[in-house]
Amino acid sequence: CIRMVGSRVHAAASALVAKNQMVFLTIVTDGVPTTSMSARPTHQARFDMISELRNLTHTLPILLVIRLATSDESTVEFWNQLDSEVEFPLDVLDDICSEAKEVYGKGNRWLTYAPYLHTVREGGTNIKLLDLLDERRFTGGEVAAFCQLVILGEDDPPLPPWQEVNEFCAVLGEYVRTAELVYSPLLKCLAPILNMREVERLLRQDLKRTGRPGGFIWPSAFEFALFFALAAVVLGVLYSN
């Protein structure tokens, strides 16, 4: 199946590159690679799968999403280990509740991991901040960038510099106050998309600890536009059901 997908993408690769487009391939699995004959996991089957995926991502404009449909520890460990390799443009996702716990556990408790964020990640995105949510605690600059990503509309002016914490949080807090509530998988109820107390605490802590702004990965204008487009589609589907 992987080879078939690769063949189809290869046929359209030139046109995709010319249009600055990519293919997001989501693989839903509840196990580790197995042989085609016995359906049993082997080291050779794992090696073959990794080789195929590496070939896809190195030669074609493809980003991978592995959507796990199991809580088996050995399976989760296998795919997470693959995700940790820098050379793989890969995001490994669990169910929304597990992902919300991971995001919170990594120190990003300032964010409500809403269903639309999970759905966008399941479909694939090249916005690196979304990939990092369940990997590590964000710096102050990354928190500010992500807050703008989820709270501002395309035509809204940018927020004040986040280093001016009082002004930044005052303006951001007003946006949060008037924004629609989202479902929290952890609280099992509706909640603001951002916890302003946690946002402010993290920003002040980051400045106090380093004495200067922390490094961050700021989304490009294209990434902002892509996120808004994906979020609009996801929200349209959710609210139409």
Can you give the pTM of this predicted structure? 0.80
The confidence band for 39, taking pLDDT boundaries of 50, 70 and 90, is confident
Q: What does pLDDT average to over the chain?
A: 86
pLDDT at 188: 97
pLDDT tens-digit profile of 95-129?
999 999 999 999 999 999 999 999 999 999 888 89
pLDDT over 90 at 144, yes or no: yes
Question: What pLDDT is attached to residue 223?
Answer: 56
d(CA 156, CA 85): 37
25: β partners: 64
Whole-number pLDDT of residue 110: 97
| Residue range 147-162: mean pLDDT, rounded | 92
pLDDT reading at 221 higher than 80: no
DSSP string, 29-45: ESS--B-TTT--B-HHH
The tokens 């998988």 sit on which residue?
185
pLDDT at residue 210 greater than cutoff 90? no
What pLDDT was estimated at residue 184? 98
* Residue 71: Cβ within 10 Å count: 11
Band of pLDDT at residue 84, cut at 50, 70 and 90 = confident
- pLDDT recorded at residue 236: 55
Q: What is the mean pLDDT of residues 137-159?
A: 93
Please state, in angstroms and rounded to a whole number, the distance separating the CA atoms of residues 158 and 82.
37
Is there a contact between 137 and 106 (Cβ–Cβ < 8 Å)?
A: yes
Q: What integer is the mean pLDDT of 220-229?
A: 55
- Please tell me the predicted confidence (pLDDT) of residue 232: 55
Q: How confident is the model at residue 224 (pLDDT cuts 50, 70, 90)?
A: low
pLDDT, mean of residues 42-50:
87
Q: Where are the beta strands (DSSP E) in 19-103?
A: 23-29, 62-68, 90-93
Q: How many CB atoms lie within 10 A of CB 241?
A: 4
CA dihedral over 180, 185, 186, 188, signed as positive or negative:
positive
Whether pLDDT at 227 is above 80? no
